[in-house]
Amino acid sequence: MKAEPRAGYSEFLTICTTEKDRPEYERLREGIIKVLKRFGGFEPEIDELLVDEIASSIIYWRNCEKFLDSDSATEYTYVRMADAKAKYWKMVNDGLRELALTRRDRLNKKDEADFMKQLREALLKGGN
């Protein structure tokens, strides 16, 4: 995978996705940002780090799922990929929780559970 700088914010931040995964990554990323802006208090300098981590983790999680469903998965690789899949999903949930907490702290309006539920639903729908 090739790390590329992301235009629009800090030149030090990079994302790692394959070119094949880039459209899905961008779709997820933009969907998450759209939801965050709808809730208000979106601060790119803070939130985009978590958004990138969530979008990348979802891509990696889906790739693990594809591998587990493939004919090339063996009993040895299955356990490792299942473990990786669980870790990527934890990274997604941790990122969502962190976004909810920072948003709650900034806006003091929404409760964390409601925000996470709506953000998770938006992720599953692709941000539409």
pLDDT tens, position by position, 11-50? 333 345 578 888 999 999 999 999 988 887 788 888 999 9
Mean pLDDT taken over the chain: 79
- Residue whose structure tokens are 């594809």: 66
CA distance 108 to 79: 42
Q: Average pLDDT of 97-104? A: 84
Judge whether 56 and 25 are in contact, CB under 8 Å. yes
CA distance 128 to 34: 9
Which residue in 57, 66, 113 sits closest to 86, CA to CA? 57
CA distance 108 to 47: 17
- Residue whose structure tokens are 């299955």: 78
Structure tokens belonging to residue 25: 């990554």
Q: Is the model's pLDDT at 108 over the cut of 60?
A: yes
Sign of CA dihedral 61, 62, 64, 69: positive
Judge whether 57 and 88 are in contact, CB under 8 Å. yes
Judge whether 28 and 48 are in contact, CB under 8 Å. no
Model pLDDT, residue 115: 74
CA distance 41 to 68: 39
